Amino acid sequence: MSEVRELSDAEKTFLEPYLPPRAADGRKEAATHNVREQHGETAETVQTDGGGLPFVTLTYASSLDSMISLAPGIRTTLSGPETKSMTHFLRMHHDAILIGVGTAIPDNPGLNSRYLGATLDSQPRPVVVDPKMRWDVDSSKLAQLAQEGQGKAPWLIHTRHELGEEALRGWGGRRVFLPSEAAPTGQTSESAKCETIAWSTILKTLKRDGVDSVMVEGGATVISTLLSMPELVNTVIVTIAPTWLGQGGVTVSPAPKVQAGERVNAAKLQGTVWRQFGADAVLCGRLQV
Ligand SMILES: NC(=O)C1=CN([C@@H]2O[C@H](COP(=O)(O)OP(=O)(O)OC[C@H]3O[C@@H](n4cnc5c(N)ncnc54)[C@H](OP(=O)(O)O)[C@@H]3O)[C@@H](O)[C@H]2O)C=CC1
Ligand SMILES: Nc1nc(O)c(N)c(N[C@@H]2O[C@H](COP(=O)(O)O)[C@@H](O)[C@H]2O)n1
């Protein structure tokens, strides 16, 4: 029996205002999205196609000490069965799921939707940001699921061009090569050789290639960075598990923010709603711009 159960109508109603909009033909669509009035909040319009951007959902499961895994490299289960089911429901409602290579290597995730009724067509496209080609995709679960027809073949985002833009071993994946941002002037050390791609470039490229909605699942570096970019993010859905992982874990926390020489809050959610799913709490909101 599948460990993923169907959400109740009340759970679906709770999540619905935070899902990507759908076109009338049922296709997942990014467009000017009217976020409805709910919970006393004023209706507002969130522009999701201005500048050719997809609808972006940030979602992850956190402990009470804001950690998402016990330690780097340790795959850690935080979501209970109810929030796990929610994740699979959310996956089915997005065109793509994006993770960083720091998650792909230790977690070897499936990134498909095991939600009832999910078809290959409704599966999200797995996207892994792996600038330096560190990940061995051929031996991954993503490759296996794609070969078995249980998920779409992944797209990998790189900065290096050693392999050329060929399909991945005939099972339909793609390598997408994007330019990295220039290192700050004068930096020549090894640590300065980061190959960071602008998030607007990554997201616009996905949109150009037909991805209208992206569920960003992690890990800590990716989520923490995007929390500081409210202009790129439409909704945030956080599962809060009733546990503390303890010091030494992997923490989600955006970079500190300074305004007029003073430290201010780094990111804030607005339009927040929360609901209990089993033992976990789920908090939804939008980043304050
Ligand atoms: N509880 C939860 O919901 C989740 C937990 N996790 C956990 O998170 C941890 C992983 O987090 P973390 O190590 O931070 O890894 P990430 O998955 O955030 O990947 C980070 C790496 O991705 C690449 N990357 C990220 N952004 C960019 C960019 N803009 N341009 C180019 N490359 C980029 C870099 O690769 P490079 O180093 O090659 O430059 C970077 O080091 C794991 O322990 C995993 O289990 C993950 C997802 C969900
Ligand atoms: N929502 C959520 N809750 C947790 O407790 C998690 N550990 C994660 N991790 C994310 O899900 C990926 C695993 O997916 P599969 O079950 O293998 O399809 C993992 O890589 C993280 O992105 N998420």
Tens of pLDDT along 35-68? 333 333 332 333 345 569 999 999 999 999 999 9
DSSP-based three-state secondary structure for 285: strand
Report the separation in Å between the CA atom of 43 and the middle of ligand 1, taken as the mean of its atom positions.
34
**pLDDT value of residue 31:** 37
- pLDDT band of 22, cuts 50, 70, 90: confident
**pLDDT value of residue 23:** 61
Give, using CA atoms, the residue closest to atom 13 of ligand 2.
109
Question: Does the beta carbon of 130 lie inside 6 Å of ligand 2?
Answer: no
Give the whole-angstrom CA distance, residue 44 versus residue 55: 15
Q: Tell me which of 101, 202, 215, 227 to substitute to probe ligand 1's pocket, judged by most ligand atoms within 8 Å of the beta carbon.
A: 101
User: Bridge partners of 238?
Assistant: 60, 283
Lowest mean pLDDT across 9-13, 86-90, 171-175, 265-269: 171-175
Max mean pLDDT range (48-57, 114-123, 185-194, 224-233): 224-233
DSSP-based three-state secondary structure for 8: coil
| Cα 266 to chain centroid, rounded | 19
Tokens read off for 91: 């996956």
ipTM: 0.99
Closest ligand to Cα 194:
1
Quick: pLDDT tens for 92-109: 999 999 999 999 999 999
Tokens read off for 186: 């004068």
Pocket around ligand 1 at a 6 A CB cut-off: 60-61, 68-69, 72, 75-76, 78, 99-103, 106-107, 129, 131-132, 134, 195-197, 199, 217-222, 250
| Cα 37 to chain centroid, rounded | 25
Please compute the mean of the pLDDT values over residues 104-124 and round it to a whole number: 95
Mean pLDDT for the chain overall: 88
**pLDDT value of residue 137:** 94
Give, using CA atoms, the residue closest to atom 20 of ligand 2.
109
The answer, yes or no, to whether residue 149 has pLDDT greater than 50, is yes
Share of the chain above pLDDT 90, in %: 78
Note the pTM of the prediction, 2 decimals.
0.91
**pLDDT value of residue 228:** 97
- Per DSSP, the residues of 100-153 read EHHHHHHH----S--STT--TTTSPEEEEE-TT--S-GGGSHHHHHHHTTSSPP
Give the whole-angstrom CA distance, residue 62 versus residue 53: 27
Q: Tell me which of 4, 87, 144, 239 to substitute to probe ligand 2's pocket, judged by most ligand atoms within 8 Å of the beta carbon.
A: 87
* Burial label, 122 (beta-carbon count in 10 A; 0-12, 13-18, 19+): middle
DSSP-based three-state secondary structure for 85: helix
Atom of ligand 2 nearest to the CA of 111: 18
Question: Does the beta carbon of 61 lie inside 6 Å of ligand 2?
Answer: yes
Q: For the beta carbon of residue 89, count every other beta carbon within 10 angstroms.
A: 21
- pLDDT band of 141, cuts 50, 70, 90: very high
**pLDDT value of residue 186:** 53
Long-range Cβ contacts of 243-247 (<8 Å, 24+ apart): 243/63, 243/64, 243/78, 244/63, 244/64, 244/65, 244/67, 245/63, 245/65, 245/67, 245/69, 245/70, 245/76, 246/65, 246/67, 246/70
Please compute the mean of the pLDDT values over residues 78-88 and round it to a whole number: 98
Of the two residues 284 and 2, the one the predictor is more confident about is: 284
Of the two residues 128 and 191, the one the predictor is more confident about is: 128
* DSSP type of residue 175: E
Place of tokens 């995007």: 226
User: Residues 177, 180, 185, CA angle at the centre, nearest 5°?
Assistant: 160
Closest ligand to Cα 250:
1
Please compute the mean of the pLDDT values over residues 197-205 and round it to a whole number: 97
Report the separation in Å between the CA atom of 103 and the middle of ligand 1, taken as the mean of its atom positions.
5
Spatial CB neighbours of 216, under 8 Å, sequence gap ≥ 6: 56, 57, 58, 59, 97, 98, 99, 222, 223, 226
